C-alpha cells in the first residue's frame, strides 16, 4: 500500500512539473515587435529562453551591407550583424507568476541592455517590459507570434 501511495505522489508531482514546463514552452516561436521592423525567434536552451533576430525589414545599411550593431557600447562588437544577434537572454519561467523573468533585452537602436520580463497575454501575444531597476521604470511593447497558415 505504501508503494502505491508513493507511486501516486511521484506521478502527481511529475505531472505538475511537466505542465509548468509546457506552460513555459509556450514562449517558443517567432515573434514580431509592434513596429514591424524585425522578427525574433525565441528558443529554449537548457532551462532558459533566448531570442535572436531572424528577419529585418531593412536588412542592409545605406551602403548595401548587412546592418551591424553600430550603437553597441563595446567597440569590438559594432561590426556584429544585427540579423542573428541574440537580443533576449537568460529568461526563466516563473510558474507561480505565469511570467518569464530574470532576463535582459538589448536594444540595438541605442546600444542599451535592460532588465526584462515577458508575459503571455493571449495565445499569440506577449508583453515585453524592459526596465531599469524596477519594472515601474520601463516601457512595454506588445509582440505578435507569427503563425503558419494552415493549408
**Other CB atoms within 10 A of residue 66 CB:** 14
Domain layout of the chain by residue ranges? 26-145
- CA nearest neighbour of 82 among 58, 101, 50, 112: 58
Reported as a single tens digit per residue, the pLDDT across 27-38 is 999 999 999 999
pTM metric for this prediction: 0.83
Please name the CATH architecture into which domain 26-145 falls.
Beta Barrel (2.40)
Whether residue 110 is predicted with pLDDT greater than 70 in this model: the reply is yes
For 71-95, the pLDDT digits (tens) are 999 999 999 999 999 999 999 999 9
pLDDT tens digits, 39-49: 999 999 999 99
Q: Give the number of other Cβ atoms within 10 Å of residue 88's Cβ.
A: 25
89 three-state secondary structure: strand
The grid coordinates listed for 27 are: 514562449
DSSP 28: -
Mean pLDDT of 5-27: 58
Amino acid at each position: 500500500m505504501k508503494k502505491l501511495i508513493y507511486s501516486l505522489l511521484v506521478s502527481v508531482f511529475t505531472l505538475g512539473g511537466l505542465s509548468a514546463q509546457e506552460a513555459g514552452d509556450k514562449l517558443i516561436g517567432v515573434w514580431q515587435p509592434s513596429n514591424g521592423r524585425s522578427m525574433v525567434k525565441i528558443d529554449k536552451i537548457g532551462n532558459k529562453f533566448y531570442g535572436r533576430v531572424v528577419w529585418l525589414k531593412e536588412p542592409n545599411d545605406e551602403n548595401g551591407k548587412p546592418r551591424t550593431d553600430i550603437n553597441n557600447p563595446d567597440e569590438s562588437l559594432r561590426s556584429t550583424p544585427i540579423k542573428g544577434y541574440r537580443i533576449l537572454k537568460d529568461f526563466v519561467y516563473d510558474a507561480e507568476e505565469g511570467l518569464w523573468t530574470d532576463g535582459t533585452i538589448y536594444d540595438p537602436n541605442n546600444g542599451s541592455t535592460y532588465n526584462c520580463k515577458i508575459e503571455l497575454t493571449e495565445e499569440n501575444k506577449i508583453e515585453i517590459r524592459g526596465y531599469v531597476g524596477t519594472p515601474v521604470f520601463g516601457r512595454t511593447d506588445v509582440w505578435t507570434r507569427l503563425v503558419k497558415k494552415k493549408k
